[in-house]
Amino acid sequence: MNALFQLFISFFKIGAFSFGGGYAMLPLIEEEVIHTHKWITSAEYIDILAIAEMTPGPIAINSATFLGYRVYGVLGSMVATLGVILPSFIVMSIIFISMYRFKNSPYVDWVFKGIRPVVIGLIGAAAVSVGRTSLVDLKGILIAITLFYFVTFKKLNPILAIVISGVVGIILY
């Protein structure tokens, strides 16, 4: 039961201290599951992220679900998922209740202006971390750069990009 409680607390912290959505949570998830608790390896984390990215739904919830399953089976999956969504549910409930009271407050606006740059930094940290683990050779780097270009500038559908990169991976590796 201690492992389940620790799993819940870890994902509750991730959910509570991550602003900006699922991608901003990735560095915190990595820190908790790889470095702090050593539940999985960096390579396993990248595999789980790939699955979470391809699976419909928010990446943070999908990651929590897969990681919880990896650590403690179906029950771990439920506990980690609950842990990661509960802080947002609590905060959104409080915001909804008090929304009309503070909607014109400059302090609220200032807080959000201060949080926005952190989100960009967290997403950048996640990109660097995933890149260090995933881009291990020239072929991988070329695939990543090429698909980044096509998705970003040519508006290639991300699902099609995943399929193309899988086919290219089969051919090159």
Q: What number is the average pLDDT over the span 144-164?
A: 92
41 band by pLDDT with thresholds 50, 70 and 90: very high
136 band by pLDDT with thresholds 50, 70 and 90: confident
Taking each helix axis from N to C terminus, what angle separates 158-172 and 138-152, rounded to the nearest 10 degrees?
A: 160
Residue 38's pLDDT is what?
93
**Higher pLDDT among residues 154 and 58, named by residue:** 154
Q: What number is the average pLDDT over the span 44-61?
A: 86
When computed from its CA atoms, the radius of gyration of the chain, rounded to whole angstroms, is: 18
Query: Is residue 6 predicted with pLDDT exceeding 80?
Result: yes
Of 26, 67, 50, the residue nearest 162 (C-alpha): 50
Residue 19's pLDDT is what?
66
- Please give the Cα distance from 102 to 100 (Å, whole number): 6
Query: Is residue 130 predicted with pLDDT exceeding 90?
Result: no
Query: Is residue 99 predicted with pLDDT exceeding 70?
Result: no
112 band by pLDDT with thresholds 50, 70 and 90: confident
Of 73, 106, 109, 78, the residue nearest 11 (C-alpha): 78
